Structure 1
Amino acid sequence: MKTRISIITSALLLAGCSTVAEPQAESQYNASLIITNGQVLTINDEKDVIENGVIVIENDTIVAVGDASLLSRYQAPKVIDAEDGIVMPGMINTHNHLPMIAFRGLGEEGIENRLFAYFFPLEKEKLSRDLIYQATKLGAVDLAQSGVTTYADMYYHVDDMARATKEVGLRAVLGETVIKFPVVDAPEPYGGIEYATQFIEEYQNDPLITPAFAPHAVYTVSKEKLQEINRLSAKLDAPVLIHVAEFGNEAERIEGNDQQLSPVAWLKEIGVLDNRMVLAHGIHLDQNDIDLIKEAGASVAHNPMANAKGATGIAPAWEMYRQGLRLGLGTDGPMSSNQVDLWRTLSYTANMQRLKHNDRTIMIPEQVIELSTIGGARALHMEDQIGSLEVGKKADIIIIETQSPNMMPNYNPYATLVYQANPGNVSTTIVNGDIVMEQREIKNIDMAEMQQAVRTIEADIAEFAKELSKKAIKSKSLMN
């Protein structure tokens, strides 16, 4: 691999990225945190890789990225030795339903109508504010331990999700679900619109939480409500997260879609497809759909592992990537892929596209890591803040150790990450300049207390879930 050495010091900040001044030669500039001795994958436009690299952080912002010469110009009260590990931007999970981690491992008996006969009834019976808060905390710890620093989510009681996420210390885009039937936090159909509006107004300027609307899907939210959400999202400058083209028969299930337009074409037709919209899945897309998404400036959250497990299809991810769409990676909920980390998703992303196209030269590791970092940032329209290690961006950084047998040898760091690494190789996770995990130790959460809360939830759910499976397995899928 050709390695380029890029030294980006605070002199660049004077050009407009920040107000931090260039330290004088006879003194050292006092920063907050310095990372040394790492193989730095910047994921900048040039994909610069810095051997024995250094990253300098002041509060929540990266102020310098370069080689070891920076150590003569900066000092900090906290210095982390990466010990020849890989230092890279935190990964970004662009689609999740994190509180469903409380149900992880349930409904695996081969239930055909799993969404409507199992997922929804389980949620109706067992969801509560406390479960959502406790499960989000568990999920956020799982994310932090695996090197995900930002996640996007569609669920309920998102204010409790925000509270748990901030306690762990992660960044999140949280969308309050809007759907046409009563749910745990909205006794009236479409009550999520009011809930979301209040949540957005409360969290609009939060440093870690980006509040959003989350209409469930084109077949569970009416045209009029989608248009109302679009107007509100424009007024409040809030993202819109939605499931689109996950199933092959969605067009015929859209109320009022007499022309049988595709879900993407339907969103365009009713005037709601725009640059605030993040489309989860996007499996059943044709070229016209891809063109419409790109033209609108919308984005796609690609979930190959969940799609494979659910047998819903292989998305045209290579076509979207090659044509320059805003494309990120996601896991979907913990009942869909049973994972919230992106490590296995990385290899699924590459290998399923190669199988689909019968071409081993596409989706090379560098491209896959791009999708998990700056690609995810673009998908969430946050690329000016996160997704790469560059001066002026937020300090969302992870360190992956390279001394374990599964990480050796490390000829090509991108290939090592995509095909060798696992969550246990992540040693340190930093979000917004704060250390969330160091040497595998979670900093902000009482782990024993969290584990006991999860055991209590498990004991409450187990028997009901077992009986529900017996009923659900007899239900035929509505998606056939």
Structure 2
Amino acid sequence: MKFQYLVGIASVFFLAGCTTMPRGDNADLIIHNGQVLTINTEMEVIDDGVVVVKDDTIIAVGGHELMQQYQAQKVIDAHDGIIMPGMVNAHNHLPMIAFRGLGEEGISNRLFAYFFPLEAQKLSRDLIYNATKLGAIELAQSGVTTYADMYYHMDEMAKATKEVGLRAVLGETVIKFPVVDAKTPYGGVEYGKKFVEEYKGDALITPAYAPHAIYTVSKEKLQEIHALSEQQDVPVLIHVGEFPNEEKRLEGETQAKTPIEYLSEIGVLDQRLVIAHGIHLTPNDQKLLKEADVGIAYNPMANAKGATGIAPAWEMYRADMRIGLGTDGPMSSNQVDLVKTLSYAANMQRLKYSDRTIMIPEQVIEMATLGGAKALHMEDQIGSLEVGKKADIAIFETQSANMMPNYNPYATLVYQANPSNIDTTIVNGKVIMENRVMQTVKLDDIRDNVDAFEADIAEFAKELAKKAIKSKSLMD
């Protein structure tokens, strides 16, 4: 069925008492000749669609008739491709792309016996900057326009992210032991304060705090971070419910039976919080999360690879909670793109509930776009192609063998597409990649840096794996 959906700046003129549009209005960018997935409230699709952009904002979305109403400095022909909102990766640790492919020897306790020691020995400002740049290029090449991240030296990550041109929510990690950017336990709090002050109000970077988890951050520090997030009005990112026995590692007395109950009990469960994973949640946990308006990042590939469980994502989606998709770090899923995650997101839920009718492709794409925006409380800015929202757009080509036939664009994206099918990526109205060619930075420019840190890490990582493989599992 074909839908014709016309929204645009005409609505502004109507509200002002004018019902006609002047011809030849100027714009900066027009995208046409594609199937537009608006991801608006009605999930409308425009088969011969047009998206019009002025500065960083979408000013019109509709049918081919818009080509007669607007002219632009740049016009992109989508060649019958799929035009959709840029995807939102709601949870990542992007600099860990420097370690991608390591620790695959069957190590049970990868987090404490392998991840943390590897980071302690090999992380640096320079590595974090270069690895972020590499990862951001891969994100752009796969149609991700916004990502959320928890890591260290967030100023370096912000610099690299802005050079590539992506949008990001970057949380400075707070943890109870010394790390690369904090010589003392919980040094990330002070680092985070400075980072928030530097980037608050930035067009692309939303600064945040990122207490690692309830078992690696004390109650007092969680409460301190919560107070700071209220004062500065910034998000808080945290891992919760990734492992089945997290509450058993808590220090001090608590009446809480689950990590979510604990966060509620200590007064830090609110609308600024975004939890990653949320695998082990009770019905009461889900009720508390919804009441507090918390964002959730569902990471199906990483959770499957780590054998940590399957989150009740379908229940949360059906309850209209703020749930989006994430990849977790490049050592957890070995991916940063969401295209491969799409089918996992659906199929793991169907497996969990033994129901092949749930998580249909349309719902998965909504979760990967507007759902991620909602999880990050950014749905008023991004996540759908609607007038007034930021021009964060991805164009999939549909001429490759794997993209044909294209009966249902949602199914094509979820079950047929590869990251290489992304033709063009636009962030904040700026073309970041076009015809598969990066426009802001070149991969070749950082290749030598990648080769250098790979050579430096390889031998140490090999020896560390021999020790780590003897360590007891965190889930035991």
When the two structures are superposed, what TM-score results if normalisation uses the length of structure 2?
0.98
Change (3 A) 1:314 1:461: same
Letter of the structure 1 residue corresponding to residue 27 of structure 2: A
Contact 2:105 2:469 in 1 (8 A): yes
Contact 2:10 2:20 in 1 (8 A): no
2:115 counterpart residue number: 119
1:13 counterpart residue number: 12
Secondary structure at the counterpart of residue 348 of structure 1: helix
Secondary structure at the counterpart of residue 206 of structure 1: coil
Q: Residue 232 in 1 paired to residue 228 in 2?
A: yes
Matching residue within 402, 405, 408 for 1:409 = 405
Q: Deviations over 1:346-367 (max 9, x none)?
A: 1011001101111100000000
Alignment of 1:151-230 (within 5 A): 151-230=147-226
1:203 CA displacement: 0.4
1:242 counterpart residue number: 238
Secondary structure at the counterpart of residue 477 of structure 1: coil
Secondary structure at the counterpart of residue 38 of structure 1: strand
Q: Residue 274 in 1 paired to residue 273 in 2?
A: no
Change (3 A) 1:54 1:476: same
Matching residue within 389, 395, 415 for 2:391 = 395
1:305 counterpart residue number: 301
Letter of the structure 2 residue corresponding to residue 74 of structure 1: Y
Q: Residue 38 in 1 paired to residue 37 in 2?
A: no
Q: Residue 473 in 1 paired to residue 473 in 2?
A: no
Contact 1:10 1:21 in 2 (8 A): no
Letter of the structure 2 residue corresponding to residue 301 of structure 1: A
2:86 counterpart residue number: 90
Letter of the structure 2 residue corresponding to residue 127 of structure 1: L
Structure 2: distance between partners of 1:342 and 1:22? 42
Letter of the structure 2 residue corresponding to residue 151 of structure 1: Y
When the two structures are superposed, what TM-score results if normalisation uses the length of structure 1?
0.97
Contact 2:13 2:21 in 1 (8 A): no
Alignment of 1:285-324 (within 5 A): 285-324=281-320
Structure 2: distance between partners of 1:93 and 1:15? 36
Report how many residues are paired.
476
Letter of the structure 2 residue corresponding to residue 417 of structure 1: L
Change (3 A) 1:10 1:311: same
1:313 CA displacement: 0.3
The share of aligned pairs that are identical, in percent, is: 70
Q: Which region of structure 1 is more displaced relative to structure 2, 7-16 or 173-182?
A: 7-16
Q: Deviations over 1:207-234 (max 9, x none)?
A: 0000000000000000000000000000
1:64 counterpart residue number: 60
Matching residue within 427, 433, 441 for 1:445 = 441
Structure 1: distance between partners of 2:23 and 2:83? 27
Change (3 A) 1:236 1:26: closer
Secondary structure at the counterpart of residue 79 of structure 2: coil
1:22 CA displacement: 7.8
Alignment of 1:99-138 (within 5 A): 99-138=95-134
Structure 2: distance between partners of 1:71 and 1:22? 20
Letter of the structure 2 residue corresponding to residue 432 of structure 1: N
Structure 2: distance between partners of 1:11 and 1:289? 44
Contact 2:10 2:21 in 1 (8 A): no
Q: Which region of structure 1 is more displaced relative to structure 2, 440-449 or 356-365?
A: 440-449
Structure 1: distance between partners of 2:3 and 2:47? 9
Secondary structure at the counterpart of residue 267 of structure 1: helix
1:3 counterpart residue number: 2
1:25 CA displacement: 5.9
Contact 1:28 1:72 in 2 (8 A): yes
Contact 1:242 1:280 in 2 (8 A): yes
Matching residue within 331, 334, 356 for 2:330 = 334
Secondary structure at the counterpart of residue 76 of structure 1: strand
Q: Which segments of 5 or more consecutive residues in structure 2 lack a partner in the other structure?
A: none
Contact 1:85 1:402 in 2 (8 A): yes
1:449 CA displacement: 1.8
Contact 1:39 1:86 in 2 (8 A): yes
Q: Which region of structure 1 is more displaced relative to structure 2, 439-448 or 293-302?
A: 439-448
1:348 counterpart residue number: 344
Q: Residue 384 in 1 paired to residue 383 in 2?
A: no
Contact 2:100 2:334 in 1 (8 A): yes
1:14 CA displacement: 4.2
Change (3 A) 1:84 1:141: same
Letter of the structure 1 residue corresponding to residue 139 of structure 2: L
1:420 CA displacement: 0.2
1:13 CA displacement: 2.9
Secondary structure at the counterpart of residue 413 of structure 2: helix
Change (3 A) 1:330 1:112: same
Contact 1:406 1:420 in 2 (8 A): yes
Letter of the structure 1 residue corresponding to residue 474 of structure 2: L
Contact 1:9 1:63 in 2 (8 A): yes
